[in-house]
């Protein structure tokens, strides 16, 4: 009987069904309550958007500090989720452990500070990362060939096509005019509307909501979650049949690399403070024009903004990069940066240019750390900082928890 051909170890490692990280079973006591807290806090913040004016008045008369409680729940949930998910690893081998050791010593960290916020050291860091990513991709392709998988790798092609369809759907249906057309269609305005005390349908409640501008962003953010996260996640699970954790959702090593993102945030924060004095910046942010009306308005908007950022990070730095890395190596980063820059069109010119650099750096770090979480957190931190800076320079920060209705 013919002897079975022995597969190389590298091929077995690549093709083996991914198993949980050794400590993954210990993550749920933290991650599950954290996820529930985030969901509950988010529901509390979004719920008033779909109440009538009289119902909102009754709500804040009986629960004046409800927004504070909701925000506390969300932040507590994030902290618990990070603690738990820190134990959830990727099935991929760690990124070049020998190379990685050079960047966790104290001296490179000192150099990042001494040479104008890493401008001297960051290009070298990225360059060596790209070289190693290319070597890693070559090893994955060789392992695939050794396993007898000689066919065309359709993953980049299909992932980019699915992504292009998602971007198209969001552009044509994911903005407030579509929601307003639906409201007009399902709740036409009859002549006797002025004599009605309360709206009679759900769509009428949406039309008459005291948070009408915020409901537009509920629609906008919901479409971003659908197009940037849910559709790609379903594609990964049902078509590719792979683990979502391998597409940037693993967090093992998060704290180990957090200092890099912390330093990157400080650099961006300095730029935010500088541009906050620019008129174009202050007239553009926050997107939600009533964010200064109350802390409820502000934090409900930031929650919707954060959900969009998480989905965006998963789409660009998780879904596309992971699907394309084996075939394209580090060049997958540059392919991702082009559409990432384009979704910033319409924003201030300097921010759109900065998105190119941010896309390259965050893409490099996402592939290096196997995680999008730190990139998501820095995105949210910068977004909140930009909104606070813009409000401080214009209308001022909110001075009450609920708006005066």
Q: What pLDDT sits at residue 101?
A: 42
Are the C-beta atoms of 32 and 81 separated by less than 8 Å? no
What confidence score (pLDDT) does residue 15 get?
38
Q: Average pLDDT, stretch 371-396?
A: 87
Tell me the CA distances in angstroms from 393 to 273, 274, 346, 349, one per residue in order: 10, 12, 21, 20
Lowest mean pLDDT: which of 145-159, 163-177, 256-270, 387-401? 256-270
Q: Give me the mean pLDDT over the 308-324 stretch.
A: 95
pTM of the full structure? 0.83
pLDDT above 70 for 207: yes
Q: What percent of the chain has pLDDT over 90?
A: 34
| Residue 89 banded pLDDT, cuts 50, 70, 90 | low
The pLDDT, as a whole number, for residue 283 is: 77
Question: How much is the mean pLDDT over the chain?
Answer: 81
Which phi and psi angles does 95 have, rounded to 5°?
-70, 115
**86 pLDDT higher than 90:** no
Is a pLDDT exceeding 70 seen at residue 153? Answer: yes
Range scoring the smallest mean pLDDT among 49-63, 172-186, 323-337: 49-63
Alpha-carbon span 319 to 309, nearest angstrom:
14
Mean pLDDT of 116-122: 57
280-296 tens-digit pLDDT: 777 778 889 999 999 99
Is the separation of the CB atoms in 372 and 250 below 8 Å?
A: no
pLDDT for 378 equals: 85
Q: What is the pLDDT of residue 197?
A: 63
What is the average per-residue pLDDT within 205-221?
92
**196 token code pair:** 């009605």
* Rounded Cα–Cα distance for residues 147 and 69 (Å): 54
pLDDT of residue 405: 77
CB 225 within 8 A of CB 42: no
Contacts of 29 (CB under 8 A, 6+ apart): 84
21 has pLDDT over 60:
no
Q: Note the pLDDT of residue 310.
A: 93
Domain spans, the chain = 92-393
> What does the pLDDT average to over 210-234?
95
Per-residue pLDDT at 385 exceeds 80: yes
CA 302-308-311 angle, to 5 degrees, is 140
For 189-198, 230-239, 336-345, which range has the lowest pLDDT when averaged over its residues?
A: 189-198
Mean pLDDT of 5-17: 38
Given a cut of 50, whether residue 298 has pLDDT beyond it is yes
**Greatest mean pLDDT range, 90-94, 207-211, 247-251:** 207-211
Percent of the chain with pLDDT over 70: 79
């Amino acid at each position: 009987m013919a002897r079975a051909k022995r597969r190389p170890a590298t091929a077995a490692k690549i093709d083996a069904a991914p198993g949980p990280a050794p400590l993954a079973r210990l993550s749920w006591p933290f991650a599950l309550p954290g996820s529930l807290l985030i969901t509950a806090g988010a529901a509390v913040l979004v719920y008033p958007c779909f109440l009538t004016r009289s119902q909102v008045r009754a709500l804040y008369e009986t629960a004046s500090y409800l927004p504070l409680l909701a925000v506390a729940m969300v932040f507590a949930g994030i902290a618990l989720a990070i603690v738990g998910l820190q134990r959830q690893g990727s099935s991929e081998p760690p990124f070049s452990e020998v190379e990685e050791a050079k960047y966790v010593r104290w001296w490179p960290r000192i150099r990042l500070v001494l040479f104008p916020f890493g401008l001297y050291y960051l290009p070298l860091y990225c360059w060596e990362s790209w070289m190693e990513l290319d070597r890693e991709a070559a090893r994955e392709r060789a392992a695939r060939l050794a396993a007898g998988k000689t066919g065309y790798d359709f993953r980049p092609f299909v992932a980019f096509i699915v992504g292009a369809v998602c971007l198209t759907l969001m552009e044509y249906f994911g903005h407030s005019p579509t929601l307003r057309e639906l409201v007009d269609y399902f709740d036409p305005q009859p002549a006797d509307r002025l004599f009605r005390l309360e709206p009679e349908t759900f769509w009428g409640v949406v039309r008459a909501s005291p948070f009408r501008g915020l409901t537009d962003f509920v629609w906008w953010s919901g479409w971003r979650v659908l197009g940037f996260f849910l559709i790609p996640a379903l594609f990964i699970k049902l078509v590719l049949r792979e683990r979502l954790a391998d597409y940037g959702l693993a967090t093992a090593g998060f704290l180990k690399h957090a200092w890099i993102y912390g330093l990157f945030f400080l650099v961006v924060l300095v730029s935010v403070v500088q541009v906050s004095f620019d008129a174009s910046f202050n007239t553009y942010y926050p997107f939600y024009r009533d964010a200064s009306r109350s802390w409820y308005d502000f934090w409900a908007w930031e929650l919707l903004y954060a959900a969009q950022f998480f989905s965006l990070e998963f789409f660009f730095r998780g879904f596309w990069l992971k699907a394309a890395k084996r075939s394209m190596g580090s060049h997958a980063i540059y392919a991702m940066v082009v559409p990432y820059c384009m979704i910033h069109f319409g924003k201030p010119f300097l921010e759109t240019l900065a998105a190119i650099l941010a896309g390259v750096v965050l893409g490099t770090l996402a592939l290096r750390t196997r995680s999008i979480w730190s990139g998501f957190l820095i995105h949210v931190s910068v977004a909140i900082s930009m909104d606070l800076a813009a409000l401080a320079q214009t209308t001022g920060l909110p001075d009450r928890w609920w708006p005066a209705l």
